[in-house]
Amino acid sequence: MNRLFYFSLLLIGLSSCYTKPLGYYEPSKVSSAPDYAQERYWAALPTTKDSADVLLDASLKDMQASSQVDVFFLHPTTYTGGLGKDNRQWTAPVDDAELNEKTDGGSIKYQASIFNGVGRIYAPRYRQVQLQVFGEYETEKSDYAEAATALAYSDVKRAFSYYLEHYNQNRPIIIASHSQGTIMAKQLMKDFFDDTRIQNKLVVAYLVGIGVENDFFKTISPCTSATQTGCFCSWRTFADGHIPKKYISENTAIINPLTWTTEEIPAPETASKGFIIDDKNGAYEGLLTARVNKEKGILWVEKPKSPAKLRFVVGKNYHIGDYNLFYMDVRENVQTRVDAFWK
CB 101, CB 134: distance < 8 Å: no
Q: In what order do the strands lie in the sheet with 202-208?
A: 42-44, 120-124, 70-74, 173-178, 202-208, 231-233
Enumerate the domain spans of the chain.
Answer: 2-342
DSSP E strand stretches across the chain: 42-44, 70-74, 120-124, 173-178, 202-208, 231-233, 237-239, 289-293, 298-302
pLDDT by residue for the chain (343 residues), tens only, comes to: 444 433 343 334 444 345 566 566 777 778 889 999 999 999 999 999 999 999 999 999 999 999 999 999 999 999 886 555 555 688 888 999 999 999 999 999 999 999 999 999 999 999 999 887 777 666 766 777 888 899 999 999 999 999 999 999 999 999 999 999 999 999 999 999 999 999 999 999 999 999 999 999 999 999 999 999 999 999 999 999 999 887 667 799 999 999 999 999 999 999 999 999 889 989 999 999 999 999 999 999 997 766 555 666 678 999 999 999 999 999 999 999 999 999 8
Residue 153's H or E segment, with its range, is helix 142-166
pTM for the full model?
0.92
Angstrom CA distances, 50 to 39, 62, 251, stand at 11, 12, 38
Give the C-alpha separation, 303 to 316, whole Å. Answer: 10
The residues that bridge with 222 in the sheet, in sequence order, are 232
Give the C-alpha separation, 150 to 267, whole Å. Answer: 39
CB 321, CB 313: distance < 8 Å: yes
Taking the C-alpha atoms of 268, 269, 271 and 274 in order, what is their torsion angle to the nearest 10 degrees? 160
Degrees, nearest 5: CA angle 99-104-110: 135
How many CB atoms within 10 Å of residue 232? Answer: 25
